[in-house]
Every structure is written in structure tokens, then in C-alpha cells.
Amino acid sequence: MTRQPAQSDDCGVLSAAQLRIIGQFWADFLGCNEQQLSQPGFHVVPHGNLAGYTGLWAFRVNNSCVISVPEALLAAVREAAAGMECEQACCAAGLKTLVGADRIARVIGPCFVGYLGGQIFHPAQGSGVCRLLTGNDLEQIEGLKLACGNDWEIGGVDADAGQVLFGCFEAGRLVAAASYELWGQAIAHVCVAAAPEFRRQGFAQLAAARATELALSRGLLPQWRTEYSNAPAMAIGRALGFEGFASHYAVRLR
């Protein structure tokens, strides 16, 4: 698996206030303090808002890596991590070393975590019809969900969570949908999904742009998160102007 170190300096367009929002959210999420997100080296901490998660999270910003673990594994992981460098620990192989490969069910990542300052947003242009979805579109939404299969859940779009949905249509058919999910108080995590046969045609990008525009209009900080190996999702995020801030892994245990 290719490792993709984060480049936080790509996000130089973010204001000090936006960087505080990001730092506070991830510190609370992981269970660390904000200084540990920027201190070189790696830090093993007990889960914060991840308390119900039985696996591991590794969050890397440049030469700093925070590994969040369940309380029951804290001592063992800290002992296994002793003497390891950030580069060794914050990768799939290193995380397997920390808990034992036989205990791992799945390693998700490396994942791109990027943010968007309003001054660098690149609105998408497209000829398709893209509009807010309403209760009259429920049948179309369900059809798109079925067409996407597991990718619908991976994309994070959830019509049942009260999210504002934007949809792109082709010949009257809903072919892509996007929304954002509120993380913390001010981060808008942008979600998008498209029917397989209509991908790479600009529909998903146009829908994601509309969701991003709404988040910006509400004073929120848009976030884009996807696995680096998901080339289409990476391309959409980059095209809209999202810049890399961090990378992360999520480890599911048996």
C-alpha cells in the first residue's frame, strides 16, 4: 500500500481561526492535546470522542503522528511503540507491528484529509441539471442508493440524517448526489456519490461543488476526506480546491 505523508503546509491559505477549529476538533476526536498534533514524533493516546471505537486511529500532520487506541490497549501499544520513529509507526506495516498482524481485521488508509478556504474554492462548471433534492425525489434517491451499492455508504451521503442534498440529473435520472455532514461545530464534511456508469463525467464534482458552496455560505469550513487510492474522489477534491492537511489510517481489530 502506498504511503502518502500529509503536507500541512499546503493549507497555508487557512486562517489562524480555521486552523484552531481543525486542531480543536481532531484533538477532541483523538483524545490528545492540540500541541501533540504539531509536535514532531508520535504520541500514543487513549481514545477521546472515539471512545466507542475498539480499533486504532493514526493521524499524521507532517512529522507528527497521533495514534489513538482503546484504553485497554494503551500500555501495550506504548510499549510496542517505544523507539519507533513517526515514519515507522504511521503506516500500515507499523500499525500491524503495534498490535500484531493477527489481531487486525482491516486497515483503512492512507486517507487524505483536506480543507478549503473560501478564497481558493474552484466552483465546478457543468451542463447537467443540479438542484436541491426534496421529498418528491425520494424514489430517485433510493434508486441512486441501490445503483451505488457499498459506495453509497463509503461516500457518506445520508438522506435520512437531515442532510441538505444536491442532485445532478441526466435525462431525468438522478445520477449523483452530494451533501455535507457537520463535524463538531464548524467543519462541513462533504459527501458525494454517483451511479457507476455516470462517474468521471463531472456530475459528482458538480454536486459536491454545490454542497461546498452551501457550507461556505453558512460560515463552515469544508473538509474532504477519502483514501488516496480512490483516484476519482481525489481528483474531485483537488479540482474544487481542497488542500492536504493530514493523512490518517483507521485500523479495525478482530
pLDDT tens-digit readout, 120-156: 677 666 667 899 999 999 999 999 999 999 989 888 8
* Torsion, Cα of 144, 150, 156, 158 (10° steps): 50
Has this prediction a pTM greater than 0.75?
yes
Strand-pair category, 104-115 with 221-227: antiparallel
- Averaged pLDDT, groups of 10, the chain, 254 residues long: 41 82 96 92 92 91 93 94 87 92 94 84 71 94 95 84 88 95 95 95 93 93 96 93 94 93
Spell out the domains of the chain, with CATH numbers in brackets: 8-114 (no CATH), 118-243 (3.40.630.30)
Dist. CA 204–CA 212, nearest whole Å? 12
The reported pLDDT for the residue numbered 127 is 61
Strand-pair category, 166-170 with 173-183: antiparallel
The reported pLDDT for the residue numbered 108 is 94
Answer whether 104's CB lies under 8 Å from 253's CB. yes
Peptide bond into 232 cis (omega under 30): no
The burial class, CB within 10 Å (0-12 / 13-18 / 19+), for 33 is: middle
Dist. CA 212–CA 174, nearest whole Å? 19
Distances (CA, A) of 244 to 9, 50, 84, 112: 8, 23, 25, 7
Q: Which residue type sits at 120?
A: I
Polymer length in residues for the chain: 254
The reported pLDDT for the residue numbered 178 is 96
The reported pLDDT for the residue numbered 118 is 60
The burial class, CB within 10 Å (0-12 / 13-18 / 19+), for 148 is: buried
The predicted-structure confidence for 154-179, as pLDDT tens digits, reads as follows 888 887 767 899 999 999 999 999 99
Q: How far apart are the first and last CA of the chain?
A: 21
Q: Crossing angle, helix 203-217 and helix 231-240, to 10 degrees?
A: 50
The reported pLDDT for the residue numbered 161 is 67
DSSP assignments along 27-41, one per residue: HHHHT--GGGGTSSE
The reported pLDDT for the residue numbered 120 is 66
Coil vs helix vs strand at 53: coil
Half-sphere exposure for 148 (CA within 13 Å, toward CB): 26
